[in-house]
Structure 1
Amino acid sequence: MGADHSRAAPPTPPGVRRILIVTVVPLFLATLVAALVLWPRDAPRPEAGDDLPRYHGTVTRVVTEPCPPNPAVPEGTPTTAGGPCGTVTVRVQDGPDAGQHVDTPIPAGPGAPSVSVDDDVILVSLIDPEDPAISTYNIAEHQRGTPLIWLGVLFAAAIVAFGRLRGLAALAGLAASFAILLTFVLPGISAGQPPLVVAIVGAALIMFVVLYLTHGVSAQTSVAVLGTLGALVLTGLLGLAATNATHLTGFGSEDATTLSMFRGDVDLHGLLLAGIIIGSLGVLDDVTVTQAAAVTELAHANPNMSRRELYRSATRVGRAHIASVVNTIVLAYAGASLPLLLLLTADSRALGQIVTSEFLAQEIVRSVVATLGLIAAVPLTTALATVVTTAGRRRAGANAAPGAPDDVAVALPRPATDRAETLQALSTPRTRHTPPATRSEWPEPDRSTDTPW
């Protein structure tokens, strides 16, 4: 009788299951306790400023005209305004002038929106300080709500269409990540809590919720959780050492400088470390889940692989993954920092001075530390997954071959065949070779190899 290859992956042995529970559950409880201790109870609320009233409107007409000459300008400057000049007629959709058409000047200057007929725009009402009864409108920007909603619908539909139930779980995990960031991490840092500690606790909380919600409660997911948590801690320590060694202050960007003006009590050095950890989490869980799944698939494809062979095979997969992820990280940071990179081309200082300046050294440290954390996640997760996957494969001493390694799954001996049956099989004429089974004949082609608890 042939072997049955349609069976699912064997369950995790009870001993390994208990070890995972004893390891993961205390870490999860410790994360919850730390989150409750650090939870922002007195987070500062934004003060009510003198924001200008904003109303929605639709452009109905655009009339351009030559710009008037400047009254008195220094020698060598243009004699006309920068433009464009003219009038935009907008139908107001809400507010005290809803339904009316108002005239506004064409937006001009750096960053001004370019408007045309039928564009949905946002108007700001300007009140004359000398006569409050007089008000005028200016176009501030375009309305982006509807395009963003349709883009979000397309994003969710594509994920659900491809991932089905797993896609729904991924969307729920994404919502949970934003909820933790908006209700714990950002308010906690604003309340004066240490940014590094808040980032580690918040990242761990996101990791537990997202991984178990998306991939289910299994030994494979638990291995990915442990690998991600270990790599996160290592990334935080490396980031702390690197920022101290390079004497980074956190004032390497214009946003950080602006934040220091409004919130002088925020630790910008810790905020830099928090950004490194939060930014690394998204790629870390990708690497750790992939490594845990690769070990499980390799072990199922060849149950006779030793732990060493399984580890080496999965590590080769990890090397290919890291090689592509490193390029992804560098390109992601480069894409987000294109204005900074273009600014370097206009800088007349020497290259050594530019590279060692605060604003560029900060990006280098961010990229290098995140990459080192990813590299460390591969062997750590692969080793844990190898031990968990191969646990319980040893056979009893009566079935074990003499001198066989402990971590090799020794095949069971074939049952003895009767001599008469053997002679009959040898004397039976050969039959025509049958074609190999098609893919549809393979048992359970969509079988999941997630190891159940």
Structure 2
Amino acid sequence: MADHPHEHEHSPSVKGASVNGPSFQGHGHSHDHGPATPASRRLRAVIAAVLIPFAVAVVAGMVLMWPGRLPAHASTGLGFDQPTVSGRVTATKAAPCDAGAASTASATSATADACSLVSVAITSGKDSGRTVQLTLTPDQTAVYSAGEKVVLDYSPTAPAALQYTIGDADRSMPMAILAGIFALAVVLVGRLRGLAALVALGISFAVLSQFVLPAILKGEDPLRVAVVGGGAIMLMALYLCHGLSARTSVAVIGTMVSLALIGVLGEVFIGLTHLTGNTSDETALVHSLFTGIKLPGLLLAGVIIGSLGVLNDVTVTQASSVWELRAADPTMGARALYRSGIRIGRDHIASTVNTLVMAYAGAALPLMLLFTIANRGVWTVATSEIVAEEVVRTLVGSIGLIASVPLTTFLAALVASHNGRPAAAPASIPAQARTTAAAMATTASATEAGTAGRHRHRR
């Protein structure tokens, strides 16, 4: 594989000189470190021999497990699987809890004047233009004001007075604005590569929504679905963002092996710790609707998918670091490149592992508050299933992350060190620059000759 033609590597104007002639690199950019050596070609052939079958297996897996249409399920009567329409709040006022045409929650324990009567104008669907009166009880934490847009759940089989209930606030506009600001920032800073990253993000979302989630719901093994879907995301995102190059291929192999390690460790320790994966209301509800889903496998799939993004970050960074070290000093061999690259990797490990732990801690903050209130011991809390699930997820992902650093650094050092030596003084270098380099080489030769003569005189 050849490095991507648009990936430029900077080199100083004058690298140095030797007695055999100038080792000089001009002011422009070089695409590689010279012609690939036979060893480099062999290494790249090995990389291709690993990645091409993997890519073929991923494509075959997606074809074989492609979900098609989802199986039907009985309606739960809850808002998430009901039709929805848009609405706009026109007025709100305090009212007795038995007022209004419909109530979105039971009012048996509410006081007579503790509820809110909300008037909502329907703005989409067959009843667009109609205004409905809805009662919100004190146990509902959402507060709505006039002019606010909302999402209404529609139950066509319910009595006319109870067909519409407020499901949620309509967050379409602020979310779209935030997404637009994010996309603009990525493109302004990352330019074409930032645009490629946005396209890769869209592809990742499409793979998750069109393949991974439907395939799991249809009854496929969650582990196999996660491996195939994660492999597809990894291949498309990395090559799209970073180009078809040996550098990217090294990062792909490092990510692939690390994900395999995470999968093995996850399966082993989910079994050893007897985690069922049924620790939330959402999981229980999904399992009740689709009883064929294997919850421990779903937990393992979540570990793999959740580790993919940070693994991509680490492996790409390590591979790029080694290539830049080689660009800065083309005389560095594999051993020197590995030692320098692993020092960078240790800093990356220290910061990223802490990032993973803090991310999971932030997501589980309400749960941690509950355990703090209960005054239970730290070890008792950590070994309870609901917390142990997150602990296993974090530690397994971190072990894979740690393993990816030396593995990717070693592969990158091995491949980069065999990319060949820089070519001597290209013809495009200006005559004055070549003359300067030749003069420096002559001076170096004279200095070395004089030094050798003094050593002989002393002897």
TM-score under structure 2 length normalisation: 0.77
Which secondary structure state, in structure 1, belongs to the residue aligned with residue 124 of structure 2? coil
Aligned match of 2:143 = 114
Describe the shift of the 1:110–1:21 C-alpha distance in structure 2 as closer, same or farther (beyond 3 A).
same
CA deviation after TM superposition for structure 1 residue 67, in Å: 6.9
Aligned match of 1:63 = 93
Aligned match of 1:3 = 24
Aligned match of 1:182 = 209
Within 1, Cα distance between the matches of 2:130 and 2:66? 48
Which secondary structure state, in structure 2, belongs to the residue aligned with residue 55 of structure 1? strand
> Which runs of 5 or more structure 1 residues have no equivalent in the other structure?
69-77, 396-412, 424-453
| Aligned 8 A contact 1:128 1:134 in 2 | no
CA deviation after TM superposition for structure 1 residue 91, in Å: 3.0
Aligned match of 1:381 = 408
Give the letter aligned to residue 192 of structure 1.
Answer: G
| Aligned residue among 329, 332, 343 for 1:316 | 343
Aligned match of 2:244 = 217
Which secondary structure state, in structure 2, belongs to the residue aligned with residue 178 of structure 1? helix
| Aligned 8 A contact 1:60 1:90 in 2 | yes
Aligned match of 2:6 = none
Within 1, Cα distance between the matches of 2:317 and 2:357? 21
Within 2, Cα distance between the matches of 1:126 and 1:46? 16
Give the letter aligned to residue 295 of structure 1.
Answer: V
Within 2, Cα distance between the matches of 1:141 and 1:224? 42
CA deviation after TM superposition for structure 1 residue 299, in Å: 1.0
CA deviation after TM superposition for structure 1 residue 183, in Å: 2.0
Provide the aligned C-alpha RMSD in A. Answer: 3.2
Tell whether 2:223 aligns with 1:196. Answer: yes
Tell whether 2:168 aligns with 1:148. Answer: no
CA deviation after TM superposition for structure 1 residue 63, in Å: 2.1
Give the letter aligned to residue 81 of structure 1.
Answer: T
Aligned match of 1:246 = 273
Within 1, Cα distance between the matches of 2:172 and 2:155? 23
CA deviation after TM superposition for structure 1 residue 297, in Å: 0.5
> Which runs of 5 or more structure 2 residues have no equivalent in the other structure?
1-21, 99-107, 423-437, 448-459
Which secondary structure state, in structure 1, belongs to the residue aligned with residue 85 of structure 2? strand
Q: Which protein is richer in helix relative to its size?
A: 2
TM-score under structure 1 length normalisation: 0.78
Give the letter aligned to residue 120 of structure 2.
Answer: V
Which secondary structure state, in structure 1, belongs to the residue aligned with residue 128 of structure 2? coil
Tell whether 2:55 aligns with 1:25. Answer: no
Describe the shift of the 1:266–1:313 C-alpha distance in structure 2 as closer, same or farther (beyond 3 A).
same
Alignment of 1:224-263 (within 5 A): 224-263=251-290
Aligned match of 1:98 = 128
Tell whether 2:291 aligns with 1:264. Answer: yes
Give the letter aligned to residue 113 of structure 1.
Answer: A
CA deviation after TM superposition for structure 1 residue 375, in Å: 0.2
Within 1, Cα distance between the matches of 2:245 and 2:160? 67
- Give the share of equivalent positions with the same residue, in percent: 42
| Aligned 8 A contact 1:252 1:360 in 2 | no
| Aligned residue among 391, 395, 400 for 2:418 | 391
| Aligned residue among 343, 359, 368 for 1:332 | 359
| Aligned 8 A contact 2:36 2:420 in 1 | no
Tell whether 2:391 aligns with 1:364. Answer: yes
Structure of higher RCO (CA pairs closer than 8 Å, 6+ residues apart): 2
Which secondary structure state, in structure 2, belongs to the residue aligned with residue 230 of structure 1? helix
Count residues in correspondence: 394
Aligned match of 1:38 = 65
CA deviation after TM superposition for structure 1 residue 414, in Å: 9.8
Which secondary structure state, in structure 2, belongs to the residue aligned with residue 64 of structure 1? strand
Aligned match of 1:341 = 368
